[in-house]
Amino acid sequence: MPVRIHHVGVAVTNLDESILLYRSAFGAELVHRATNEKEGLEAAFLRMGDGEVELMTPLREDSPVGKFMAKRGPGFHHVAYGVSDIESALAEARAAGLELIDNEPRVGMHGARIAFLHPKSVGGVLTELVEI
């Protein structure tokens, strides 16, 4: 099902500082930055070679990322696998017995269709499928 690692999501305290750090330390290139008021987060996507890192910071303490940060602090948040057909990837995940957070694909912050799988059925790692 997964064709490749698409991006890694990292929760950060200060988005501007983290973007500067990733640019200077790794030569990462900022490709997209957006705010999602509904989910209560601001995210920046930086290209690193043929993959990306998604830096994300909460807008509110009671948002999903805000709660994550309060509980676990900044750091690794999720991995995203790129798939060519998200409908069939979700069907395969469901058939394999994985617990889905999103039963249907939805549009993610960078415009692609995404769906999350529950960490407890994927080795404790919040896992995102992204259609590429």
The residue ranges that bind Co ion (CB under 5 A) are 9, 54, 80, 128
By beta-carbon proximity to Co ion, the closer residue of 28 and 80 is 80
**How many whole angstroms separate alpha carbon 64 and alpha carbon 106?**
17
Say how far apart CA 54 and CA 47 lie, in whole Å. Answer: 9
Kindly write down the DSSP assignment for every residue of 69-105, as one continuous string.
Answer: HHHH-SEEEEEEEEES-HHHHHHHHHHTTPPBS-SS-
- Of 83 and 97, the one with the shorter C-beta distance to Co ion is 83
Report the nearest approach of Co ion to the CB of residue 80 (Å): 5
CB of 83 to Co ion, least distance (A): 13
Output the smallest distance, CB 118 to Co ion, in A: 15
Nearer to Co ion, 36 or 121 (CB): 36
Can you give the length of the chain in residues? 132
